[in-house]
Amino acid sequence: MSANATPRHIAFIMDGNGRWAKKRFLPRKAGHRQGVKALERVVDACEKKGVEMVTFYAFSTENWARPQDEIDALFAMVAEFADTRLKEYVARGLRIMFMGDLAPLPQKTRDACARIVQAAKDNEGMIVNIALNYGGRDEILRAVRRVLQSGVKDVDVETLSDCMYTGGLPDPDIIVRSSGEKRLSNFMLWQAAYSEFVFRDELWPDFDEKTIDAVLEEYASRDRRYGSVKRLD
Ligand code: IPE
Ligand code: IPE
Ligand code: MG
User: CA-CA distance, 95 to 54, in Å (whole number)?
Assistant: 10
* Residue from 82, 89, 200, 182 nearest 132 by CA: 82
220 with 3: CB under 8 angstroms?
yes
Residue 233: inside a domain: no
**Total domain count for the chain?**
1
Say which DSSP state 52 is in: S
CATH of the domain at 134: 3.40.1180.10
Residue nearest to atom 12 of ligand 1 (CA): 16
Q: Residue of the nearest CA to atom 13 in ligand 1?
A: 18
Tell me the C-alpha to C-alpha distance, in Å, between residue 197 and each of 46, 169, 178, 218. 17, 19, 11, 10
15 is catalytic: yes
- Active site (annotated) includes residue 162: no
CA 101 to chain centre: 14
pTM score > 0.95 for this model?
Answer: yes
**Nearest atom within ligand 1 for CA of residue 60:** 5
pLDDT in tens, 26-58: 999 999 999 999 999 999 999 999 999 999 999
How far apart are the CA of 225 and the centre of ligand 1, in A?
Answer: 33
Residue 88 lies inside a defined structural domain of this protein: yes
Q: What is the mean pLDDT of the chain?
A: 96
Residue 190 lies in a domain: yes
pLDDT bracket for residue 3 (50, 70, 90): confident
Domain housing 154 = 3-221
Give the span between the Cα atoms of 191 and 184, in whole angstroms.
Answer: 12
